[in-house]
Amino acid sequence: MKIGVLALQGTFIEHEKMLEKLGADCVELRKAENLEQDFDGLVLPGGESTVQGKLLRELGMYEILKEKIENGMPVLATCAGMILLAENLENDELKHFGTLPVCVKRNAYGRQLGSFHTEAEVKGIGIVPMTFIRAPYVESAEKNVEVLAVVEGKTVGVRYGNQLAFAFHPELDEDIRIHQKFLDIVKDSV
């Protein structure tokens, strides 16, 4: 199984380490040329969505990746990655892939709670550690979006078809079950 990891900026190395621990091969996606090879799933890491979105367009990667996602390629998106997928952003005029029918609020926890750690349930997985760093949350979602995790009344994990999106950073904790779940989805789709 080969996973393409968007490697323009952010926590891509942490995702790669985790996926490799689980036996997947990773390829770094840094430029349009890298998208010519075959890969079975896509990871959109945490970081800064505005920078990532800008680079995706400048490097000619945006359309190709959007089409792959629309055609059902499994995606694991964390934090900034969730913002890249969202169909609407509550506090930003710019939207990116727009393949996930949710409205996401960026930097949603305000300054004081910019970063925090907690543990909570992810549906189908159990209690997992959750590291939030200037995180977004899902403000509203279409009916056919499955809510996977809620923290303090805010939706922080969703699934829509093969797209998995989390507001926190599973790649920064030791728990491997979210990545395992993603690889299971990839396996089912190959």
Q: What residues make contact with ligand GLN under the rule CB under 6 A? A: 46-49, 79-80, 83, 106-107, 133-134
Beta-carbon neighbour count of residue 123 at 10 Å? 13
Q: Is 103 a catalytic residue?
A: no
Shortest Å distance, C-beta 51 to ligand GLN: 8
Report the alpha-carbon distance of residue 43 to residue 155 in Å, rounded.
20
Cα 100 from Cα 44, distance rounded (Å):
13
For residue 79, indicate whether it is catalytic: yes
Which one, 26 or 83, has the nearer CB to ligand GLN?
83
Identify which of residues 166 and 182 has a Cβ nearer to ligand GLN in the complex: 166
Our CB check for ligand GLN shows the closer of 47 and 101 to be: 47
| Kind plus residue range of the DSSP H or E element containing 179 | helix 177-189
Could you give the count of Cα atoms lying within 13 Å of 113 in the half-sphere of its Cβ?
11
Owner of token pair 């890298």: 34
In the complex, least distance from residue 92 CB atom to ligand GLN, rounded to whole angstroms:
8
Residue 106, phi then psi, degrees to nearest 5:
-80, 155
Min dist CB 102 to ligand GLN, Å, is 15
Q: Which of 79, 87, 96, 179 is catalytic?
A: 79
Q: What are the residue numbers of the active site?
A: 79, 169, 171
